[in-house]
Amino acid sequence: MFTADGISVSYGPIRAVRDVSIDVSEGEIVTLLGPNGAGKSSLISALIGLVPKAGGQTSFRGEDVTGLSTEALVRRGMTVTPEGRKVFADLTVAENLRLGAATRKDHDGIAEDTEKYLEMFPILRERFHSAAKYMSGGEQQMLAISRSLMSRPKLLMLDEPSLGLAPRIVDQIFEFLVKLREWGLTILVVEQNAGDVLEFADRAFVLASGALQFAGTAKELRETGDVMEMYLGLEAH
Ligand SMILES: Nc1ncnc2c1ncn2[C@@H]1O[C@H](COP(=O)(O)OP(=O)(O)OP(=O)(O)O)[C@@H](O)[C@H]1O
Protein backbone atom coordinates (compact mmCIF):
# COMPACT_ATOMS: atom_id res chain seq x y z
CA MET A 1 0.00 0.00 0.00
CA PHE A 2 2.80 2.39 0.90
CA THR A 3 6.52 2.33 0.14
CA ALA A 4 9.26 4.76 1.04
CA ASP A 5 12.49 4.19 -0.80
CA GLY A 6 15.87 5.62 0.20
CA ILE A 7 14.49 8.47 2.32
CA SER A 8 16.93 11.01 3.75
CA VAL A 9 16.16 14.02 5.95
CA SER A 10 18.62 16.79 6.80
CA TYR A 11 18.42 19.79 9.09
CA GLY A 12 21.26 21.94 7.80
CA PRO A 13 24.41 19.89 8.45
CA ILE A 14 22.55 17.30 10.57
CA ARG A 15 21.61 14.16 8.67
CA ALA A 16 18.68 12.92 10.78
CA VAL A 17 17.58 10.10 8.40
CA ARG A 18 19.95 8.34 6.02
CA ASP A 19 18.71 6.35 3.05
CA VAL A 20 15.90 4.52 4.85
CA SER A 21 13.42 2.28 3.02
CA ILE A 22 10.23 0.99 4.61
CA ASP A 23 6.93 -0.40 3.34
CA VAL A 24 3.47 -1.00 4.73
CA SER A 25 0.97 -3.51 3.32
CA GLU A 26 -2.79 -3.12 3.44
CA GLY A 27 -4.35 -4.10 6.77
CA GLU A 28 -1.07 -4.28 8.69
CA ILE A 29 0.11 -2.62 11.86
CA VAL A 30 3.75 -1.77 11.23
CA THR A 31 5.84 -0.25 13.98
CA LEU A 32 8.86 2.01 13.70
CA LEU A 33 11.09 1.66 16.75
CA GLY A 34 14.41 3.01 17.95
CA PRO A 35 16.11 5.02 20.68
CA ASN A 36 15.69 8.76 21.31
CA GLY A 37 16.99 10.87 18.46
CA ALA A 38 17.04 7.90 16.05
CA GLY A 39 15.15 9.90 13.41
CA LYS A 40 11.71 8.31 13.76
CA SER A 41 9.74 11.56 13.96
CA SER A 42 11.81 13.05 11.16
CA LEU A 43 11.06 10.07 8.93
CA ILE A 44 7.30 10.15 9.62
CA SER A 45 7.22 13.93 9.13
CA ALA A 46 8.98 13.56 5.79
CA LEU A 47 6.59 10.81 4.67
CA ILE A 48 3.56 13.07 5.22
CA GLY A 49 5.27 16.14 3.73
CA LEU A 50 5.73 18.12 6.95
CA VAL A 51 9.51 18.32 6.54
CA PRO A 52 11.32 18.24 3.19
CA LYS A 53 13.05 15.07 2.03
CA ALA A 54 16.73 15.40 1.17
CA GLY A 55 16.33 12.32 -1.01
CA GLY A 56 14.15 9.32 -1.72
CA GLN A 57 10.77 8.42 -3.18
CA THR A 58 7.37 7.53 -1.77
CA SER A 59 4.46 5.78 -3.38
CA PHE A 60 0.94 5.25 -2.08
CA ARG A 61 -1.55 2.80 -3.58
CA GLY A 62 0.51 2.50 -6.75
CA GLU A 63 0.96 6.24 -7.31
CA ASP A 64 4.23 8.16 -6.97
CA VAL A 65 3.47 10.72 -4.23
CA THR A 66 7.04 11.91 -3.60
CA GLY A 67 6.53 15.61 -4.21
CA LEU A 68 2.97 16.02 -2.91
CA SER A 69 1.97 18.44 -0.15
CA THR A 70 0.58 17.24 3.17
CA GLU A 71 -2.91 18.34 2.12
CA ALA A 72 -2.70 16.41 -1.14
CA LEU A 73 -1.53 13.32 0.77
CA VAL A 74 -4.41 13.62 3.23
CA ARG A 75 -6.86 13.87 0.34
CA ARG A 76 -5.40 10.64 -1.04
CA GLY A 77 -5.91 8.83 2.26
CA MET A 78 -2.80 9.29 4.37
CA THR A 79 -2.79 11.03 7.73
CA VAL A 80 -0.65 11.50 10.82
CA THR A 81 -1.36 11.95 14.52
CA PRO A 82 1.72 13.91 15.60
CA GLU A 83 3.69 13.42 18.78
CA GLY A 84 2.47 15.34 21.81
CA ARG A 85 -1.30 15.15 21.24
CA LYS A 86 -1.59 18.26 19.17
CA VAL A 87 -5.27 19.02 19.67
CA PHE A 88 -6.59 22.56 19.29
CA ALA A 89 -6.67 23.34 23.01
CA ASP A 90 -9.17 26.21 22.93
CA LEU A 91 -11.56 24.48 20.55
CA THR A 92 -14.21 22.04 21.72
CA VAL A 93 -14.12 18.32 21.08
CA ALA A 94 -16.82 18.83 18.44
CA GLU A 95 -14.78 21.52 16.69
CA ASN A 96 -11.61 19.45 16.77
CA LEU A 97 -13.40 16.52 15.16
CA ARG A 98 -14.98 18.81 12.58
CA LEU A 99 -11.54 20.15 11.61
CA GLY A 100 -10.29 16.61 11.12
CA ALA A 101 -12.96 16.24 8.43
CA ALA A 102 -12.02 19.50 6.68
CA THR A 103 -11.11 17.72 3.44
CA ARG A 104 -14.56 16.02 3.25
CA LYS A 105 -17.95 17.17 2.03
CA ASP A 106 -20.08 14.09 2.75
CA HIS A 107 -22.10 15.39 5.71
CA ASP A 108 -23.83 12.08 6.41
CA GLY A 109 -20.51 10.24 6.41
CA ILE A 110 -18.98 12.83 8.74
CA ALA A 111 -21.91 12.46 11.18
CA GLU A 112 -21.60 8.68 11.01
CA ASP A 113 -17.86 8.76 11.74
CA THR A 114 -18.30 11.24 14.59
CA GLU A 115 -20.83 8.87 16.16
CA LYS A 116 -18.44 5.94 15.69
CA TYR A 117 -15.62 7.62 17.66
CA LEU A 118 -17.96 8.98 20.36
CA GLU A 119 -19.15 5.41 20.79
CA MET A 120 -15.57 4.18 21.00
CA PHE A 121 -14.46 6.88 23.46
CA PRO A 122 -17.50 7.89 25.58
CA ILE A 123 -15.47 10.63 27.28
CA LEU A 124 -15.46 12.52 23.96
CA ARG A 125 -19.26 12.54 24.01
CA GLU A 126 -19.31 13.77 27.62
CA ARG A 127 -16.92 16.60 26.74
CA PHE A 128 -18.30 17.22 23.27
CA HIS A 129 -18.94 20.94 23.83
CA SER A 130 -16.08 21.76 26.19
CA ALA A 131 -12.59 22.94 25.29
CA ALA A 132 -10.03 20.21 24.63
CA LYS A 133 -7.57 21.77 27.08
CA TYR A 134 -9.69 20.69 30.06
CA MET A 135 -9.23 17.01 29.24
CA SER A 136 -6.49 14.73 30.61
CA GLY A 137 -3.51 13.71 28.48
CA GLY A 138 -5.06 10.34 27.69
CA GLU A 139 -8.39 11.90 26.73
CA GLN A 140 -6.61 14.39 24.48
CA GLN A 141 -4.76 11.53 22.81
CA MET A 142 -8.10 9.80 22.14
CA LEU A 143 -9.32 13.06 20.61
CA ALA A 144 -6.12 13.51 18.57
CA ILE A 145 -6.43 10.02 17.08
CA SER A 146 -10.17 10.39 16.45
CA ARG A 147 -9.55 13.73 14.76
CA SER A 148 -6.98 12.11 12.43
CA LEU A 149 -9.49 9.39 11.63
CA MET A 150 -12.14 11.94 10.67
CA SER A 151 -10.34 12.41 7.34
CA ARG A 152 -11.23 8.73 6.71
CA PRO A 153 -7.63 7.72 6.03
CA LYS A 154 -6.55 4.44 4.53
CA LEU A 155 -3.12 4.77 6.15
CA LEU A 156 -2.89 6.18 9.67
CA MET A 157 0.55 7.14 10.93
CA LEU A 158 0.94 7.79 14.66
CA ASP A 159 3.96 9.34 16.36
CA GLU A 160 4.36 7.91 19.87
CA PRO A 161 0.69 7.69 20.86
CA SER A 162 1.57 6.24 24.28
CA LEU A 163 4.02 8.99 25.27
CA GLY A 164 3.51 10.13 28.88
CA LEU A 165 0.32 8.15 29.42
CA ALA A 166 -0.59 5.84 32.32
CA PRO A 167 -0.34 2.10 31.53
CA ARG A 168 -4.11 1.65 31.68
CA ILE A 169 -4.64 4.38 29.08
CA VAL A 170 -1.82 3.01 26.90
CA ASP A 171 -3.61 -0.38 26.91
CA GLN A 172 -6.82 1.33 25.83
CA ILE A 173 -5.07 3.18 22.98
CA PHE A 174 -3.32 0.00 21.79
CA GLU A 175 -6.58 -1.98 21.94
CA PHE A 176 -8.10 0.73 19.78
CA LEU A 177 -5.32 0.33 17.20
CA VAL A 178 -6.03 -3.41 17.04
CA LYS A 179 -9.74 -2.62 16.56
CA LEU A 180 -8.87 -0.22 13.73
CA ARG A 181 -6.88 -2.99 12.02
CA GLU A 182 -9.96 -5.23 12.31
CA TRP A 183 -11.95 -2.45 10.61
CA GLY A 184 -9.47 -2.60 7.73
CA LEU A 185 -7.27 0.40 8.46
CA THR A 186 -3.52 0.24 7.81
CA ILE A 187 -1.31 1.66 10.56
CA LEU A 188 2.29 2.82 10.87
CA VAL A 189 3.09 3.56 14.51
CA VAL A 190 6.24 5.07 16.00
CA GLU A 191 6.76 3.86 19.55
CA GLN A 192 9.18 4.04 22.47
CA ASN A 193 7.06 1.44 24.19
CA ALA A 194 8.52 -1.35 22.04
CA GLY A 195 7.73 -4.25 24.37
CA ASP A 196 3.98 -3.61 24.28
CA VAL A 197 3.66 -2.72 20.62
CA LEU A 198 5.56 -5.85 19.51
CA GLU A 199 2.82 -7.95 21.11
CA PHE A 200 0.30 -6.92 18.45
CA ALA A 201 2.22 -5.36 15.52
CA ASP A 202 2.62 -7.41 12.35
CA ARG A 203 6.00 -6.06 11.29
CA ALA A 204 8.71 -3.79 12.67
CA PHE A 205 11.49 -1.49 11.50
CA VAL A 206 14.24 -0.40 13.87
CA LEU A 207 16.01 2.89 13.29
CA ALA A 208 19.15 4.08 15.11
CA SER A 209 21.36 7.08 14.33
CA GLY A 210 19.21 7.79 11.30
CA ALA A 211 19.83 4.40 9.66
CA LEU A 212 17.73 1.25 9.39
CA GLN A 213 19.04 -1.51 11.66
CA PHE A 214 16.31 -4.13 11.35
CA ALA A 215 13.34 -4.98 9.14
CA GLY A 216 11.18 -8.04 9.73
CA THR A 217 8.11 -9.44 11.42
CA ALA A 218 7.38 -8.47 15.01
CA LYS A 219 7.99 -12.10 15.98
CA GLU A 220 11.39 -12.13 14.28
CA LEU A 221 12.34 -8.95 16.09
CA ARG A 222 11.24 -10.33 19.46
CA GLU A 223 13.57 -13.25 18.82
CA THR A 224 16.54 -11.17 17.64
CA GLY A 225 18.48 -10.71 20.88
CA ASP A 226 21.17 -8.28 19.78
CA VAL A 227 18.77 -5.78 18.14
CA MET A 228 16.31 -6.03 21.05
CA GLU A 229 19.06 -5.40 23.60
CA MET A 230 21.21 -2.89 21.76
CA TYR A 231 18.53 -0.58 20.38
CA LEU A 232 15.42 -1.23 22.42
CA GLY A 233 16.80 -2.16 25.84
CA LEU A 234 14.68 -5.32 25.92
CA GLU A 235 15.33 -9.04 26.22
CA ALA A 236 14.46 -11.34 23.34
CA HIS A 237 11.64 -13.81 23.91
N1 LIG B 1 13.86 20.76 13.48
C2 LIG B 1 15.05 20.22 13.73
N3 LIG B 1 16.19 20.94 13.56
C4 LIG B 1 17.41 20.40 13.79
N5 LIG B 1 17.59 19.13 14.20
C6 LIG B 1 16.53 18.37 14.41
C7 LIG B 1 15.20 18.87 14.19
N8 LIG B 1 14.32 17.88 14.47
C9 LIG B 1 15.06 16.82 14.84
N10 LIG B 1 16.38 17.11 14.81
C11 LIG B 1 17.51 16.19 15.10
O12 LIG B 1 17.38 15.08 14.24
C13 LIG B 1 17.69 13.87 14.92
C14 LIG B 1 16.50 12.92 14.87
O15 LIG B 1 15.45 13.45 15.64
P16 LIG B 1 13.97 12.83 15.64
O17 LIG B 1 13.11 13.68 16.52
O18 LIG B 1 13.53 12.57 14.27
O19 LIG B 1 14.25 11.43 16.35
P20 LIG B 1 13.23 10.46 17.09
O21 LIG B 1 13.72 9.10 16.81
O22 LIG B 1 11.84 10.78 16.72
O23 LIG B 1 13.49 10.82 18.59
P24 LIG B 1 12.47 10.86 19.84
O25 LIG B 1 12.07 9.46 20.09
O26 LIG B 1 13.34 11.41 20.93
O27 LIG B 1 11.34 11.76 19.44
C28 LIG B 1 18.09 14.29 16.34
O29 LIG B 1 19.49 14.39 16.38
C30 LIG B 1 17.42 15.62 16.51
O31 LIG B 1 18.13 16.43 17.43
The whole-angstrom separation of Cα 235 and Cα 147 is 36
- Give the ipTM: 0.94
Pocket probe for ligand 1: among 7, 9, 11, the residue whose CB has the most ligand atoms within 8 Å is 11
Residue pLDDT, tens place only, 69-108: 999 999 999 999 988 768 999 999 999 999 999 888 899 9
Split into its structural domains, the chain has a count of: 2
Q: What is the pLDDT of residue 233?
A: 84
Q: Which atom of ligand 1 is nearest to the CA of 41?
A: 22
Among 122, 152, 182, the domain boundary falls at: 152
Same domain, 102 and 215: no
Same domain, 140 and 121: yes
Residue 237 inside a domain? The answer is: no
Mean pLDDT (the chain, rounded): 93
CATH number for the domain that contains residue 46: 3.40.50.300
The whole-angstrom separation of Cα 96 and Cα 127 is 12
Let me know how long the chain is.
237
Among 137, 152, 167, the domain boundary falls at: 152
**97 is in which domain, residue-wise?**
88-152
| Cα–Cα–Cα angle for 12, 15, 17, rounded to 5 degrees | 130
pTM flag (> 0.95): no
Q: Which atom of ligand 1 is nearest to the CA of 45?
A: 18
Phi/psi at 159 (nearest 5 deg)? -105, 105
Question: Which runs of consecutive H residues, i.e. helices, occur in 63-132?
Answer: 70-76, 93-100, 107-120, 122-126
Q: What is the pLDDT of residue 103?
A: 83
CB of 13 sitting under 6 A from ligand 1: no
Residue 93 inside a domain? The answer is: yes
Residue pLDDT, tens place only, 34-80: 998 999 999 999 999 999 999 999 999 999 999 999 999 999 999 99
Residue 204 inside a domain? The answer is: yes
Among 152, 168, 198, the domain boundary falls at: 152
Residue 83 inside a domain? The answer is: no
Which strands, in side-by-side order, build the sheet including 55-60?
Answer: 14-24, 2-11, 55-60, 63-64
Pocket probe for ligand 1: among 8, 14, 31, 158, the residue whose CB has the most ligand atoms within 8 Å is 14
CA-nearest residue for atom 23, ligand 1, is: 37
Residue 148 has pLDDT above 90, yes or no: yes
CB of 32 sitting under 6 A from ligand 1: no
Residue 150 has pLDDT above 80, yes or no: yes
Same domain, 110 and 168: no
Residue 213 inside a domain? The answer is: yes
Residue pLDDT, tens place only, 180-233: 999 999 999 999 889 999 999 999 999 999 999 999 999 999 998 888 888 888
